Amino acid sequence: MKNGGLAALIKRGGIYYGVQGSNPQEILANIINEADIPASLDRNKLLEAVLERECLMSTSIGEGIALPHPRNPLISETGEQFVRIAFPRDPPDWNSLDGQHIHTVFLIVSASAKLHLHTLSEINYFCRQKEFTELLKKHAPQEELIGMIAEIEKTWI
């Protein structure tokens, strides 16, 4: 896949531990303000787009995981796409259908709807793997999380 797979996207976006904030808006602002982002991407526009999408419907997928993202692509180069994993210091209420507070946030920035759907599909796959979700719950080190993803991705054609 042109985006290099989830492991590559997370390497590009990084993993952020102990994110401060008491609600999704504060958490997202801190994630975006701390992230290394492509020069072509304006932080304020990204935050505005992510918050706008969040207002439409919570991006929580349940089990303490949220997948915030802009509704429309803000970048056009596949090499600029990224996924940033963030672990809130104090899990906030994310208006989740299952009522669980969020322990893991995957901020997704894609170059096209097709690539975004592919990334969502990969995240969904991993979030159905008990071993992976246990790593998320314990805020495992970046090397361990990316290592597990990369090993599984090697088996995919």
Note the pLDDT tens digit of each residue in 18-50.
999 999 999 999 999 988 899 999 999 999 999
17: left (phi over 0), alpha (psi -120 to 50) or beta: beta
Tell the residue number behind the tokens 């997928």, with chain if given.
Answer: 61
Q: Count the alpha carbons within 13 Å of 63 in the hemisphere toward its beta carbon.
A: 13
Q: Are 111 and 75 in contact (CB under 8 A)?
A: yes
Radius of gyration of the chain (CA): 14
User: pTM of the prediction?
Assistant: 0.94
Tens place of pLDDT per residue across the chain (157 aa): 445 799 999 999 999 999 999 999 999 999 999 888 999 999 999 999 999 999 999 999 999 999 999 999 999 999 999 999 999 999 999 999 899 999 999 999 999 999 999 999 999 999 999 999 999 999 999 999 999 999 999 988 6
| Domain residue extents for the chain | 5-154
What lies within 8 Å, CB to CB, of 4 at 6+ separation is none
85 strand-pairing partners: 15, 106
Task: Looking at the structure, give the CATH architecture of the domain made up of residues 5-154.
Answer: 3-Layer(aba) Sandwich (3.40)
